[in-house]
Structure 1
Amino acid sequence: MILPVYPPKPRPGDRVAVISPGAGLPGILPLPYELGLERLEKEFGLVPVEYASTRKMGSTPRERADDIHAAFADPEIKAVIASIGGDDQITVLPFLDRELIRANPKPFFGYSDNTNLLAYLWNTGIVGYHGGSVMVELGRPVAMNPLTADSLRAALFTSGPYELRPAERFTTGGGRWENPATFTREPESLPADGWSWLNADRVVEGRSWGGNVEILAWLLMADREIARDPSAYDGAVLFLETSEEMPSGEEVFRILRNMGERGLLQRFSALLVGRPKTWSFEQPLSPEDSARYAAGQRAAVGRALAAYAPDMLTVFDVALGHTDPQQVIPYGGTVRVDGPGRRITVTY
């Protein structure tokens, strides 16, 4: 088992790669992308560097792998940031050169479809960062959410412990990115109820693993980047979240059940569950239906835990993944979950 190490961090003024290992959506939705690039420069002091397929929809897996290699191999690039996710990054993994990437470790930021690359880095021995895409978090209308900006800044530039905080409000929807008017007003938000805890009678510390539930299911089906020896996950902290595709509670339960049947779910010492995305243009749920959807997903996770890991320390509604605000979770880094103190501390 390879123990991941933290790669060196960038400093203001450094060059950072902006790549699209999932989908080249910057090419057809430039408004949030250009805004995200602007904030990288003006608010974070970094110099974004684009690659051949960053704005190219329909790029081949080989082309996207070439961009990943170029970004990691360039000594002037100090971090790599995904523009956004996608739905076929799993096809890029076979083209990656593990030795090239291992020899040139860089902090990589992304989530959603980028769970593929984060799991790959975990197995390569490099700590990655689940969160912080250019188009979504950096390209948020009007301004970045302060909770998001603080977490991303800490993950980018600092090393050491960082305490996560419950969101006081959260955003469920937003305007269409094709419409310039979307970027003239803050997204509407609702009050948040804070974290919910189960089995919060202990303190757990371990390396993190997980990501987007749907992508993890694909990796499991394809048998890609899942440790051959399940003991690799013993004592680790699992974190899970769902996307804007809004899988049903039953689907989430079945994915976790399959992880349990494979002998994975019960290996972890704690579970962090992201606040689920409960609205999309394809499923524009009312506030009441959104609340029912979130409750159904929580119940589905609870059913799976009851069957395979009934004593697991669990925290629901953490601001990770497809939610606004979003906090960055180190992938393969140290996470401490303090049940009695109701505190979560990650190490960036």
Structure 2
Amino acid sequence: MTMISYPPKPSPGDRIAVISPGAGLPGLLPRPYELGLERLRKDYELEPVEYPATRKMGSTPQERADDIHAAFADPDIKAVIASIGGDDQITVLPFLDRELIRANPKPFFGMSDNTNLLMFLRNTGIVGFHGATVMCELGRPGAMNPQTAESLRAALFTSGEYELKPAERWNDINRDWADPATFDAEPQMRPADGWTWLNADRVVEGRTWGGCLEIVGWLLMADREISRDLSEYDGGVLLLETSEEMPSTNEVFWTLRNMGERGLLQRFSALLMGRAKTWSFERPNGPEEAARYAAEQREAVLRAMRAYAPDTTIVFDVDFGHADPQLVIPYGGLVRVDGPARRITVTY
């Protein structure tokens, strides 16, 4: 059983590493990136430090691993945050020096393709933080979402319990980052229906595992960072959410089914399913199509859970993942899912 602990937290005035373990998109789309850096400085009083591959598209896995090592090894760097996700961070994992990182534990913030590094850190004994990349959340047009900003502040600087609250309004429709007009106003939000609870007759407290469903599937296929001893996950809280790739309901079901066939799905006592992203530039769904996609995804999840883990407590549409707002959730850290009280409390 891996012993997992929370790394020391930064304080205002500290230096924070900004890296691109997945893709160097700050080099292509500097506007949201620069806005995110500005907010790190002004709103959080942290001094961002860039690394050679941060703005470099097409960087090699070794170059990105070198940046990760440099960020963790530098004693003046007190936390690490990803600029954005990507699609091939899995190729970086073989180049990482686990002992170097274990000897220099630091809070890491990221999501989507950063599920790779979050899972690596968990297996190294370090709690990471699922959420809040520089370009997406810190670089949000107009202003940061208040719920995201408050959650990130608590995760960065505090160590106690923090209750997650359902969003009253949300959004998953993006605008073109290459268009300067995008940043003149905040995204248009729409009413949220809150969270949906199933098997909510108990209180579950456990350590989290999971992340972006597509990346979890890739890690399973590559047999990377998945414990051979499945008891590692007993009683834990499974986090899953889907990306702007908008996987089909069959893909969602197949991934969960295969987790069940591996004996993994039934190990967890609770599942937190992030609010589905229902819009992309490739699939600009209208309201009816978006609602249908979300409903069909939920049914695909339920179909797998009924087959392999029918008694698991499930909460749908939790506000983490690829929609807005995005609450930060400790990865490998403690989460309490209180079914009778309909409350989710994380420990930062």
Question: TM-score under structure 1 normalisation?
Answer: 1.00
Distance in 2 of aligned mates of 1:32 and 1:102: 32
Match of 2:18 in 1: 18
Match of 2:282 in 1: 282
Match of 1:68 in 2: 68
One-letter amino acid of the structure 1 residue matched with residue 347 of structure 2: T
Match of 1:252 in 2: 252
Cα offsets for 1:208-231 (capped at 9, x unmatched): 111000000000000000001111
Match of 1:337 in 2: 337
Distance in 2 of aligned mates of 1:174 and 1:53: 26
Distance in 1 of aligned mates of 2:148 and 2:263: 34
Distance in 2 of aligned mates of 1:332 and 1:62: 26
Match of 1:303 in 2: 303
2:172–2:322 Cα contact (<8 Å) kept: no
One-letter amino acid of the structure 2 residue matched with residue 206 of structure 1: G
Match of 1:268 in 2: 268
Cα offsets for 1:17-38 (capped at 9, x unmatched): 0000000000000000000000
Secondary structure in structure 2 of the residue aligned to 1:11: coil
Match of 1:120 in 2: 120
Distance in 2 of aligned mates of 1:174 and 1:207: 32
Distance in 2 of aligned mates of 1:261 and 1:124: 26
> Counterparts of 1:213-232 in structure 2 under 5 Å?
213-232=213-232
Is the counterpart of residue 293 in structure 1 residue 293 in structure 2? yes
2:112–2:212 Cα contact (<8 Å) kept: yes
Distance in 1 of aligned mates of 2:62 and 2:194: 43
Match of 1:34 in 2: 34
Match of 1:143 in 2: 143
One-letter amino acid of the structure 2 residue matched with residue 134 of structure 1: V
Cα offsets for 1:68-90 (capped at 9, x unmatched): 00000000000000000000000
Match of 1:184 in 2: 184
Distance in 1 of aligned mates of 2:163 and 2:249: 30
Cα offsets for 1:116-158 (capped at 9, x unmatched): 0000001000000000100000000000000000000000000
Distance in 2 of aligned mates of 1:27 and 1:117: 21
One-letter amino acid of the structure 1 residue matched with residue 160 of structure 2: G
Match of 1:205 in 2: 205
Match of 1:325 in 2: 325
Secondary structure in structure 2 of the residue aligned to 1:79: strand
Secondary structure in structure 2 of the residue aligned to 1:258: helix
One-letter amino acid of the structure 1 residue matched with residue 21 of structure 2: P
Distance in 2 of aligned mates of 1:270 and 1:182: 38
Distance in 2 of aligned mates of 1:172 and 1:290: 10
1:19–1:67 Cα contact (<8 Å) kept: yes
Match of 1:44 in 2: 44
One-letter amino acid of the structure 2 residue matched with residue 51 of structure 1: Y
1:172–1:188 Cα contact (<8 Å) kept: no
In the TM superposition, residue 252 of structure 1 has moved relative to its aligned partner by: 0.3
1:78–1:107 Cα contact (<8 Å) kept: yes
Distance in 1 of aligned mates of 2:336 and 2:16: 29
In the TM superposition, residue 174 of structure 1 has moved relative to its aligned partner by: 2.3
One-letter amino acid of the structure 2 residue matched with residue 175 of structure 1: R
Match of 2:58 in 1: 58
Please, which runs of 5 or more residues in structure 2 have no aligned partner? Answer: none
Distance in 2 of aligned mates of 1:99 and 1:314: 36
Secondary structure in structure 2 of the residue aligned to 1:271: strand
In the TM superposition, residue 243 of structure 1 has moved relative to its aligned partner by: 0.2
2:337–2:345 Cα contact (<8 Å) kept: yes
Secondary structure in structure 1 of the residue aligned to 2:330: strand
Structure 1 runs of 4+ with >4 Å offset: none
In the TM superposition, residue 172 of structure 1 has moved relative to its aligned partner by: 2.1
Match of 2:6 in 1: 6
Match of 2:346 in 1: 346
Cα offsets for 1:183-202 (capped at 9, x unmatched): 00111111000000000000
In the TM superposition, residue 175 of structure 1 has moved relative to its aligned partner by: 1.2
Distance in 2 of aligned mates of 1:229 and 1:91: 24
Distance in 2 of aligned mates of 1:256 and 1:3: 27
Distance in 2 of aligned mates of 1:158 and 1:99: 26
Alignment identity in percent?
77
Cα offsets for 1:161-181 (capped at 9, x unmatched): 000000101112121000000
Distance in 1 of aligned mates of 2:158 and 2:3: 21
Distance in 1 of aligned mates of 2:128 and 2:174: 28
1:19–1:51 Cα contact (<8 Å) kept: yes
1:174–1:188 Cα contact (<8 Å) kept: no
